[in-house]
Amino acid sequence: MEHLTEIFGWLVDFVKDWGYVAVFLGSMIEGESVIFIAGFFAHEGYLSLPKIIIIAFTGTLIADQALYHLGKYYGNQIIDRFPSFRPRADRAFILLRRYQNIFILSFRFIWGIRIISPIIIGSSGVSALRFTFLNLIAAVIWSVGSCTAAYFFAHLIMDKFHLIPKILLGVLVFGGGAWYLASKWRKRSERKH
CA distance 101 to 135: 10
The answer to whether residue 189 scores a pLDDT higher than 90 is: no
The answer to whether residue 57 scores a pLDDT higher than 80 is: yes
The model's pLDDT over 112-166, given as tens digits with 9 standing for 90+, comes to: 778 888 988 998 889 999 999 999 999 999 999 989 998 888 877 766 665 555 6
* Position 168 confidence tier, pLDDT thresholds 50, 70, 90: low
Element (H, E) at 99: none
Choose the weakest-confidence range: 22-31, 66-75, 93-102, 170-179.
Answer: 170-179
Phi, psi of 154, deg, nearest 5: -60, -40
pLDDT at position 137: 95
The answer to whether residue 5 scores a pLDDT higher than 70 is: no
The residue with greater pLDDT, 9 or 29, is 29
Element (H, E) at 152: helix 128-158
The model's pLDDT over 10-33, given as tens digits with 9 standing for 90+, comes to: 767 777 778 899 899 988 887 788
CA distance 135 to 126: 12
Q: Mean pLDDT, to the nearest integer, of 31-52?
A: 86
Highest average pLDDT, of 18-22, 47-51, 76-80, comes from: 47-51
Q: Mean pLDDT, to the nearest integer, of 101-105?
A: 90
pLDDT at position 58: 95
CA distance 46 to 35: 14
Q: Are 55 and 103 in contact (CB under 8 A)?
A: no
For the CA atoms of 30, 34, 39, 45, the dihedral, rounded to the nearest 10 degrees, stands at: -150
